[in-house]
Structure 1
Amino acid sequence: MANEVTVPLLPCASIDDIVAFYEVLGFRTTHRQRKPNPYVALRREDLHLHFFEMPGFDPEQSYGSCLVLTSDTGELYQAFAAGMRAAYGKVLISGTPRMTRPRARKNHDGLSGFSVIDPGGNWIRVVQNAAVSPTPSPVPAGRLAKALANAVVQGDSRGDFQQAARILDSALARVETGDDPVALVEVLAYRAEVAMVLNEPATAATMLARVDRVALNTEETERATGALQSSADIAAALA
């Protein structure tokens, strides 16, 4: 048989909160019920997510997760980010719900990925479809790039932001004149994002100030576009 479709069924404390959040991301409700159990089905083009409500459920203790394979993680991220900016005036970076920025995943053959952590505490892990991009990205070159790759595995994949912070702080403590300035901006921007997740706004502000002091030429600025936009989003969250 072919053409089967698998739809994740994820827990939440309130289907009302789930609907409100996913509507911001461009989803629409295809089914909703309160009896015999609270349940909602959501759809955005070919992306289907279903949720059930559990009395007393704590999103901070959720293990709910699923993978979303897409041909373009950047395009989907930008659509989600635009929805957040329109609804909240900023991209949600810390707390629950929130969203991470697309980055190469060392534990996914170097392909791009980002995560949406929804009001139910579910991690919707959006990753580049290997069938569409079968060629793995090269192993990161340079000390800062390797540190970033390791930190992303700990933070964005495992949710261990304390360990991600330790990896990044160790790398930033040994910045050298010959280090790639784009890699430095990427590390600083991610450290600021990690600080926001850890509720350390002062550290995030310090990292953003360091980003502003990194000199970039035109080509480097273009390569650092994602990190610079991330820094702007964090600055907006701090304002």
Structure 2
Amino acid sequence: MANETTIPLLPCRSVDDVAPFYQALGFEVTYRQERPNPYVTLRREDLHLHFFGVPQFDPADSYGSCLVLVDDLVDIHSAFADGMRATYGKVLVSGVPRMTRPRPRRNQEGHFGFSIVDPGGNWIRFVGRATPPETDDRGGLARTLHNAVVQGDSRGNPAQAARILDGALGRPEADDDPAVRVEALVYRAELALQLDEPESARELVRQARSIPLDDGARDALADTLRHAEDLIAGLPPA
């Protein structure tokens, strides 16, 4: 057998919700019908996603998911982020739909990945084929951050992820690598938005900004620091 193609078929409340969202990410609608059943097919290069509408469907109850292996994880995440900024004025980081950041997945043999949670509540999980260097030996906060990511990004449990991080972040800053602490604070701010705690998110970003960094660390954290600004961009002025 050769040249087989597998296409996920995922539920949603309305194809009118999912189609514009994926179009913002650079997908095109290749087929659509309303009767006898709502159905839409979307394509972005070699990635195909199909959706069927269920009028009484609750996205919060969705178990829909699929795994997408990509060569350049950062590039596709950046393209999705740019599409969100152009369409919504910001990167969607809380609620449904939303997108997580590329981070190491400790529960997936060190793979690097991010997730899209679409308007149907489906988790489209993007994983890079290359395995990034292991970073756990930077210290306790780095390991704690990885554990929090498993709960928040992989299992969709931001409350548990926040609890995991809060204890570690309560330790004196001198115990941590400053760059890791910035990563942890920014991720905790992202979780705060998911938990509908905007003022906590704003304060956590303020703390991340206040940590002294040398030029090398600041360059390495450029994406994280930009993400921090994305997190609070849509919040009303303090």
What TM-score do the two structures reach when normalised by structure 2? 0.96
Aligned partner of 1:35 in structure 2 is: 35
Per-residue deviation, 1:49 = 0.3
Corresponding position of 2:100: 100
CA distance in 2 between partners of 1:107 and 1:225 (Å): 26
Amino acid in structure 1 at the alignment position of 2:226: Q
Where does the alignment leave 5 or more consecutive residues of structure 2 unmatched?
Answer: none
Which residue is equivalent to 1:65? 65
* 1:137 CA drift (Å): 2.9
Kept in 2, the 8 Å contact 1:109–1:136? The answer is no
Q: Tell me the distance in 1 between the aligned counterparts of 2:190 and 2:132.
A: 26
Q: What is aligned with 2:77?
A: 77
User: Partner letter of residue 221 of structure 2?
Assistant: A
Q: State the match for 1:148 in structure 2.
A: 145
Residues 109-128 of structure 1 correspond to what in structure 2 (within 5 A)? 109-128=109-128
Contact 1:95 1:197 in 2 (8 A): yes
How many Å separate the matches in 1 of 2:161 and 2:94?
A: 15
Residue in 2 that maps onto 1:238 = 235
Quote the residue 1:9 is aligned against. 9
Say if 1:71 and 1:128, in contact at 8 Å, map to a contact too. yes
Relative to structure 1, is the Cα distance of residues 203 and 62 closer, same or farther in structure 2, using a 3 angstrom cutoff?
same
Q: Which range moves more in the overlay, 170-179 or 41-50?
A: 170-179
Select which of 203, 206, 215 maps to 1:206. Answer: 203
User: For residues 172-191 of structure 1, what are the structure 2 equivalents within 5 Å?
Assistant: 172-191=169-188
- Alignment match, 1:225: 222
Moved over 2 A (4+): none
Deviations 1:78-137 (A, max 9, x none): 0000000001110011111111111011112222100111110111111112xxx2x563
Percent identity of paired positions between Structure 1 and Structure 2: 57
Q: What is the Cα deviation at residue 176 of structure 1?
A: 3.4
- What is the root-mean-square deviation of aligned Cα atoms in Å? 1.1
SS in structure 1 opposite 2:31?
strand
Q: Which amino acid aligns with 1:45?
A: E
Count of aligned positions: 235
Whichever residue aligns with residue 230 of structure 1, its letter is H
Q: Secondary structure at the match of 2:136?
A: coil
Give deviations 1:27-82, integer Å, cap 9, x for gaps. Answer: 00111111121101100001100000002111111111111110111101000000
How far does residue 226 in structure 1 lie from its aligned partner after superposition?
Answer: 2.2
Distance 2:175 2:58 in 1: 47
Contact 1:11 1:64 in 2 (8 A): yes
Deviation, 1:178, is: 4.3
Which residue identity lines up with residue 145 of structure 1 in the other structure? A
The gaps in structure 1 that reach 5 residues or longer are: none
- TM-superposed CA distance for 1:232, in Å, is 0.8
Contact 2:104–2:132 (CA under 8 A) maintained in structure 1: no
Match of 1:194, SS state, is helix
3-state SS in 1 of match to 2:52: strand
Pairwise CA distance, 1:175: 3.1
Q: SS state of the match for residue 183, structure 2?
A: helix
Task: Name the residue aligned to 2:160.
Answer: 163
Supply the AA of the counterpart residue of 1:62.
S
**TM superposition shift of 1:2:** 1.1
